[in-house]
Amino acid sequence: MPSQPAVDLDATVHRVVAALDADEEPARADLAAAVRHLARTLARRAPGRSVELRVPPYVAVQCVAGPRHTRGTPPNVVETDPVTWLLLATGRLDWHTALGDARVRATGGRADLSAHLPVEDRHE
């Protein structure tokens, strides 16, 4: 299946953010595409293999420079739900607030993505 052009993905992120801002549930396909796009953007902007970001059921990416793992469960894992990831990636939710509210699980000494967020400028 061919990937969507970046313009389409940006429009999809805008639609999902608008739905979330209106307290509406975004279309599942749009949510999945936006989550994948923003996670892959993070991986491009913070290249490396020391942290694994997991946003089930849609995507897992490795990012952040540092020691990499080659087998088994990585030592530095960040896991969150799709809506929380969208809020973090677009600057609508602060990393430390998300951690404090247990909306993000971060294990390992390098599992802090605060320096890499937001991934995209806040969508208005």
Token digits of residue 76: 């530095």
Quick one: which of 55, 26, 56 has its CA closest to 43?
55
83 belongs to a structural domain: yes
123 belongs to a structural domain: no
24 belongs to a structural domain: yes
What is the total count of domains within the chain? 1
Q: What is the predicted pLDDT for the residue at 4? A: 64
110 belongs to a structural domain: yes
The pTM score is: 0.89
Say which CATH number the domain at 79 has. Answer: 3.30.1050.40
Q: Give the span between the Cα atoms of 34 and 11, in whole angstroms.
A: 9
82 belongs to a structural domain: yes
Domain of residue 16: give its range: 6-116
Q: What are the residues whose beta carbons fall under 8 Å from the beta carbon of 71, sequence distance 6 or more?
A: none
121 belongs to a structural domain: no
Assign 105 a pLDDT band (cuts: 50, 70, 90): very high
Q: Give the span between the Cα atoms of 114 and 20, in whole angstroms.
A: 22
